[in-house]
């Protein structure tokens, strides 16, 4: 019985690694899994077997939707927090929880096909596919094709899919059992062409259809509004906890998923409503005498929604917006996307430009006719010079991570 021993050894090694990571003050969300995978590289399928599994993927909203589903399912659920959405992160989360506990995993878009292969009994929650880190993913349509292929190989995978995103809808159409959700998506520039045949899509309001091959927006059975969530024709009152229309979409996706995992709708909604912050996002912090709210904004589609969140958090041009842009590996190494973001909407606000690529941002803001102060000190230091509260810090990933760590350290 060599194999089970190897699994046991991997568990043992992960426990040691977790202990060491916590001793160093870390949160042990990656390192234990990293070590365990060194011991047994094919550990993940073993860990996923014999428990309910929910996989959450897409360009934007993964961490938030994962946190919502986990909240709805209640304590004891295995989940990868803090956006640790690669193999070491999944393994860490799975090793930490009880062996039969349900798992809700956030999954990097490029890794979803491999994970569906490992766990075809999973429920897949497919949020959206838009341009992001193009230096790594090269083409958005190609990701959709990989999803489509994976579901064609495993059509038994149950899917909760965003009907508003043509790329997602096409990928999900390969599955037998799909729950369609009006998950939202203001950003449309990555789905001008039909993902199935390449013809230009017709768009009327929120509806979309292909005049050539007939692919069209599926009729969603789960639809969020400002005040209710309609599920199969029944309206449930919505108590919104996280700001912005994107989070109402995330909430609809999460509720549909939790329901398929056995949770009654009203209970799922009540649990999700208790969520006030997600891995450092949306929470209000006191920093150097300022009230600071941190948001992650890393690509044009995400920024479209972030601008909407900023308008909710800072009505009537109140407060200050700090924009922090880096271009390291996890941010995407090419900040050309700044020119796809409608930064014009920040005109009239107090804006501070910071981050390692503050100059790229400054040139973009100049052309958006946004007045700003450029301050290349770390985001929270730059935030301290804000003239008006609250201060919303909208940061790319590596800036966001640095800010979150600093806030966690200072309590």
Partner 1 sequence: MADSVVDIALIFPELLGTYGDGGNALVLARRLERRGIENRILEIGIDDPVPRSAAIYLLGGGEDSPQFTALNALRTSGALAAGVDAGAVVLAVCAGFQLVGTTLWGPDGPVDGLGLLDAATTRAPSRLVGEVAVRDEQLDTGWLVGFENHRGVTTPGAGANPLGTRTPERGFATDGAVHGRVVGTYLHGPVLARNPRLADRLLEWVVGPLDPLADPQADLLHEERCAEVIGSRARGGAARALSRRLPWRRP
> Using CA atoms, how far apart are residues 181 and 127, in angstroms rounded to an integer?
9
Structure tokens at 255: 């509720």
> Using CA atoms, how far apart are residues 161 and 183, in angstroms rounded to an integer?
8
Interface region with partner 1, contact rule CB under 8 A, candidates 39-47, 172-180, 241-249, 329-337: 329-337
Q: Would you count residue 366 as binding partner 1 (CB under 8 A)?
A: yes
Q: Would you count residue 193 as binding partner 1 (CB under 8 A)?
A: yes
Q: Would you count residue 397 as binding partner 1 (CB under 8 A)?
A: yes
Pairing outcome for strands 177-181 and 158-162? parallel
> Using CA atoms, how far apart are residues 254 and 269, in angstroms rounded to an integer?
9
Closest separation in Å from C-beta 304 to partner 1: 14
Which residues is 208 bridged to in the sheet? 203
> Using CA atoms, how far apart are residues 131 and 293, in angstroms rounded to an integer?
26
Nearer to partner 1 (CB atom), residue 329 or residue 348: 329
Number of residues in contact with partner 1, rule: CB under 8 A? 51
- Please give the backbone phi and psi of residue 87, each rounded to the nearest 5 degrees, phi first: -45, -45
> Using CA atoms, how far apart are residues 405 and 29, in angstroms rounded to an integer?
13
Q: Would you count residue 299 as binding partner 1 (CB under 8 A)?
A: no
Site string for partner 1, 237-256 (x = CB under 8 A): --------------------
Closest separation in Å from C-beta 34 to partner 1: 7
Q: Would you count residue 148 as binding partner 1 (CB under 8 A)?
A: no
Out of 12, 339, 371, 410, the only residue in the binding site for partner 1 (CB under 8 A) is 339
Contacts to partner 1 from residues 253-282, by CB under 8 A: 279
Structure tokens at 3: 């194999």
> Using CA atoms, how far apart are residues 203 and 209, in angstroms rounded to an integer?
7
> Using CA atoms, how far apart are residues 102 and 98, in angstroms rounded to an integer?
9
Interface region with partner 1, contact rule CB under 8 A, candidates 83-91, 155-163, 227-235, 250-258: 83-91
Judge residue 200's burial from the number of C-beta atoms within 10 Å of its C-beta, 0-12 exposed, 13-18 middle, 19 or more buried: exposed
Q: Would you count residue 89 as binding partner 1 (CB under 8 A)?
A: yes
Q: Would you count residue 377 as binding partner 1 (CB under 8 A)?
A: no
Out of 165, 305, 340, 375, the only residue in the binding site for partner 1 (CB under 8 A) is 340
Structure tokens at 352: 């501070």
Q: Which residues contribute to the site for partner 1 (CB under 8 A)?
A: 29-30, 34, 62-63, 82-86, 88-89, 106, 108, 131, 133-135, 138-141, 189, 192-193, 198-200, 279, 296, 298, 328-330, 333-334, 336-340, 359-360, 362-364, 366-367, 374, 397, 400
């Amino acid at each position: 019985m060599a194999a089970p021993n190897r699994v046991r050894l991997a568990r043992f090694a992960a426990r040691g690694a977790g202990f060491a990571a916590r001793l160093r003050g870390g949160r042990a969300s990656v390192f234990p899994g990293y070590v365990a995978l060194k011991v047994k590289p094919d550990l993940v399928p073993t860990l996923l077997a014999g428990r309910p599994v929910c996989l959450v993927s897409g360009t934007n909203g993964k961490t938030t939707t994962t946190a919502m589903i986990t909240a709805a399912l209640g304590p004891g659920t295995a989940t990868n927090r803090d956006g640790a959405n690669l193999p070491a992160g999944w393994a860490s989360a799975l090793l930490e929880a009880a062996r039969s506990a349900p798992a809700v995993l956030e999954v990097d878009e490029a890794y979803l096909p491999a994970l569906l292969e490992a766990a075809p009994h999973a429920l897949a929650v497919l949020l959206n596919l838009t341009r992001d880190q193009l230096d790594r993913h090269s083409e958005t349509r190609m990701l959709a094709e990989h999803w489509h292929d994976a579901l064609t190989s495993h059509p038994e995978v149950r899917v909760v899919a965003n009907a508003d995103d043509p790329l997602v809808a096409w990928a999900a159409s390969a599955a037998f059992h799909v729950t369609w959700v009006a998950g939202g998506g203001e950003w449309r520039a990555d789905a001008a062409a039909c993902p199935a045949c390449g013809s230009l899509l017709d768009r009327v309001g929120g509806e979309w259809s292909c005049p050539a091959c007939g692919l069209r927006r599926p009729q969603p059975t789960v639809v969020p509004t400002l005040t209710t969530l309609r599920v199969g024709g029944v309206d449930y009152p919505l108590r919104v906890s996280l700001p912005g229309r994107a989070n109402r979409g995330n909430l609809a996706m999460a509720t549909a998923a939790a329901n398929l995992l056995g949770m009654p709708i009203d209970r799922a909604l009540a649990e999700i409503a208790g969520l006030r912050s997600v891995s450092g996002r949306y929470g209000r912090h006191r920093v150097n005498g300022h009230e600071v709210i941190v948001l992650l904004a890393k690509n044009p589609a995400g920024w479209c929604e972030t601008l909407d969140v900023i308008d909710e958090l800072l009505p009537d041009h109140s407060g200050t917006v700090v924009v922090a842009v880096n271009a390291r590996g996890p941010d995407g190494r090419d900040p050309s996307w700044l020119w796809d973001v409608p930064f014009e909407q920040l005109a009239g606000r107090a804006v501070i430009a910071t981050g390692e690529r503050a100059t790229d941002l400054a040139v973009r803001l100049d052309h958006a006719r946004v007045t700003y102060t450029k301050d290349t000190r770390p985001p929270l230091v730059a935030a301290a010079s804000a003239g008006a509260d609250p201060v919303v810090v909208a940061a790319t990933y590596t800036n966001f991570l640095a800010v979150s760590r600093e806030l966690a350290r200072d309590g």
